[in-house]
Amino acid sequence: MRAPIRMPGHWFDELATGGGSMEAVSFLAQGERSRRLLLIGELLSRLEERPTLLGPADLGAVWETVEQAEERRPGCAEELLLSPEVGSWLAHTLRRLHGVSVGPPLWVDTGHLAAVALVAALRSGTDADLVVPAREGAIPLPTLGLARLPGIPLLGFQPVHARVREGELLLTATAPGTGATALTLRPLTAPQSAVWWPTHRLPVRQGGPEVILDDTDPYRDLDRPIPPRRLTPRELATWQRLFAEAVTLLDPGPIPFPGSGSGAPPGSGGAGPDIDSGPGTLRPEEIRRIVPWPGRLPNGPVEGLSASTADAFGSMVVAEPPNGAALAETMVHEFQHSKLGALLHLFAMLDDDRTEEHYAPWRPDPRHLPGLLHGAYAFVGVAGFWRDRIGDRAADPLDLAPFRFALRRIQTRTVLRTLATRATLTGPGRRLVAGLTGTVDGWLREPVDGQAVARARAAAAGHRAEWRLRHLRCADEEPSLIHISDGA
């Protein structure tokens, strides 16, 4: 029986400040690994009980392919199973099996497990013969890209036979009215073409880690499957430029001893948490995936829109930002959500009261208490990000950092007060709120340009007044009209 996960208290306290050392964040990733493996086990159990859920795919062949890949190249299959692409798919599919989500024919969702196995075989150099679902003529291969079979109808879903030999993939299908069609390619090395859309990758540094820029995976949204939306060359170039600018702002430079935790030489004992671990700091390689958000909201442009899900640690959906600083801020914001989501998978923090009645200074609508906790954790990171850029004209040419820092520290302190007085917190929840409060209270004592502080206070008060006018209602027994004297 696997031993329970136990987090050292000092790592929890680091994360409770809103920051977290490399060791603390790595512990969260290990917790996500355990959770992911438990969810994989639940899915396999359900498919074993009802093999017909997989449609034409064979569970034995699928999982044998995964096991062979892991045996040939240890860590290969596990790394794939822990990817955001697989996390989002797995959570969506389990919700469908529980009857709380919708999507394509169920065998298409469950059969995506065969596509995961195909990628494991390709990455490890093992063989595979599987049946995978095609969606509107395309077969998604998580983390690798999208294969588009010529001659397949662009509507509906159908099974496709996939054969892997020595890194080469052969896809064959029978299209009604057109006969058999086939496609052969090497997904690990093939360039982009009409039939193969490889996954975009953004380098953090030359020869180092990369972040996936995902515009093809069907499970890249927060829950429901969505069709591919390939970036144009101009859009791709813009994202590459913005990401490079963001990394320049965030990246502390190469870590000299990867895997040693503290960044110190192995065996040296280290020197405590790494220095770039405070609220608002982010090692860009901790981001696993960015999903460009297309289109516009009903009421206008989506500038500033971003979102993430606890099902995909290190992943985020982001609307194209105006500049690299805005992208860096968004990456910090959304990774804060990832950290808190991972903490919430380990610890209950508060009663899950979903009554939407509380003031959130960064939204126009009332929020529930779990949403306030997420917002407070995210905006402690945002406040720290701008605090670190005060006086840095390269990162902040308009000198907005003092105002943004002052505004976010005021707003976040308001929400922390609500959580401390209105939420039913557990022991870990009280410890987390106390840690965040200590961070923000320390910031509130720091001197900031007086004009920036005055503007921040006015902006915070204006938002609060507008929110109250929009959402507060008189009780039934109170008069609905308020008399205003002529001299008011």
- Which segment of 151-155, 161-165, 414-418 scores lowest on mean pLDDT? 151-155
- What pLDDT is recorded for position 177? 64
Amino acid letter, 418: T
Q: What is the pLDDT of residue 407?
A: 97
> What pTM value is reported for the model?
0.89
Any idea which residue has 């290990």 for tokens? 30
| pLDDT in the model for residue 35 | 96
Lowest-confidence region among 39-48, 148-157, 402-411, 441-450:
148-157
Query: How confident is the model at residue 466, as a pLDDT?
Result: 93
Name residues whose C-beta falls within 8 Å of residue 475's C-beta, 6 or more positions apart in sequence: none
Q: Enumerate residues 6+ apart whose C-beta is below 8 A from 121.
A: 65, 68, 69, 127, 128, 164
SS3 205: coil
| pLDDT grade for 295, boundaries at 50, 70 and 90 | low
Provide the pLDDT confidence category of residue 221 given band limits of 50, 70 and 90.
very high
Q: What is the model's pLDDT at position 255? A: 44
The rounded distance, in Å, linking the Cα atoms of 151 and 174 is: 9
Q: Copy the structure tokens of residue 236.
A: 């791709």
SS3 53: helix
Q: Could you identify the residue written with the tokens 């915070």?
A: 460
Q: Give 270 or 295, the one with higher predicted confidence.
A: 295
Question: Residue 488 pLDDT more than 50?
Answer: no
Q: What is the mean pLDDT of residues 244-252?
A: 89
Q: For strand 289-293 and strand 210-213, is the pairing parallel, antiparallel, or unpaired? A: parallel
pLDDT exceeds cutoff 60 at 268? no
pLDDT grade for 258, boundaries at 50, 70 and 90: very low
The residue written with tokens 């200590």 in the block is 438
- For residues 450, 453, 459 and 461, what is the CA-based torsion angle, rounded to 10 degrees? -110
State the DSSP code for 52. G
Of residues 484 and 164, more confidence is placed in 164
Return the pLDDT at 298: 42
pLDDT in tens, 15-57: 999 999 999 999 999 999 999 999 999 999 999 999 999 999 9
Report the half-sphere exposure of 58 (CA within 13 A, side-chain side).
9
Share of the chain above pLDDT 90, in %: 78
Mean residue pLDDT of the chain comes to 88
Model pLDDT, residue 473: 72
Q: In this model, does residue 125 exceed pLDDT 70? A: yes
Cβ proximity of 141 and 189 under 8 Å: no
249: left (phi over 0), alpha (psi -120 to 50) or beta: alpha
Give the CA radius of gyration of the chain: 25
If you average pLDDT over residues 417-424, what whole number do you get?
Answer: 96
Q: What is the mean pLDDT of residues 189-202?
A: 96
Residue 296 has pLDDT above 80, yes or no: no
- Measured CA to CA, the distance from residue 419 to residue 441 in angstroms comes to 15
Residue 488 to residue 429: CA distance in whole angstroms: 45
How far apart are the C-alpha atoms of 61 and 103, rounded to whole Å? 25
Residue 305 confidence class, pLDDT cut points 50, 70, 90: confident
- Choose the weakest-confidence range: 225-234, 265-274, 438-447: 265-274
Per-residue pLDDT for 369 more than 80?
yes
d(CA 157, CA 155): 7
pLDDT band of residue 446 (cuts 50, 70, 90) is: very high
Q: What is the mean pLDDT of residues 249-263?
A: 51
Least confident of 151-160, 333-342, 398-407: 151-160
Quote the pLDDT of residue 208: 86
